[in-house]
Structure 1
Amino acid sequence: MTTILGGGPVVLAAVPDPYLHFGESRTYDYGPGADVRASATLSTLNRFKFGIDYRGGYFVTISGNKSHHYLHTASTSASVRIWKTLGSTFTPDILDLKAITKTITMSIKIILLSVWL
């Protein structure tokens, strides 16, 4: 079993903001924040592997609409080695972006599914 835990400051992050129109081209907020990461992987019999991964972030806007942004991604993966170096992997992923301002709360969720051979 392998585990990872980490985190730290984010000097500058950019987050999409559909309500911001700064000049002709800028439609995003930016500012500093912090992130956290955690993952664990379990391998058995040198054939099966299962893993889980989480990444999260919190950002405060210093330029753009005044808001707080929470970003979360979670993914799992399951793989099996079929023969020598040939195998298959199944990976569902979830992405959640939440922006909180004085007047609105916006949330975007995306679910991805990948199968590799």
Structure 2
Amino acid sequence: MVDAFVGKFVVEKRENFDGFMKGIGVPEEYVEKARNAEVKTEISKNGDVITVTRIRPIKTTTNSFSFGKESEVENIKGEKMKVVVNYEGGKIVSRGDNYEVTQEMDGGRLKEVITLKGHTMTRYSKRQ
């Protein structure tokens, strides 16, 4: 159930961070700064609306959505895009043009697989 995702998380590790960031066109100086930055994620639920807030040292973003409805979200690069979010097999899946994020609970940790413009990064976060 989606209630398992509600809470506060902090990133523990990332797989393919550099390749992903460079692949989507993030300048090298930002990749250097962001590589070891503490990223916090807060997920909340109010009725049928899910809100995901990313707290980064440089910028905080908040995206809200309801399952099955088109929503506008801001991606990791700061670009606005249209996505449809669904709950599939215990995972929250956001899909848009050249964009997909899958979030799942994996051993008490939040696992996120982010694909943008054909480049993929996996991020693991522990509960705070």
After TM superposition, the score normalised by the length of structure 2 is 0.37
Kindly name which structure, 1 or 2, has the bigger radius of gyration based on alpha carbons. 1
Higher strand proportion (structure 1 or 2): 1
Higher helix proportion (structure 1 or 2): 2
> Whose relative contact order is higher, 1 or 2, with alpha carbons under 8 Å and at least 6 apart?
2
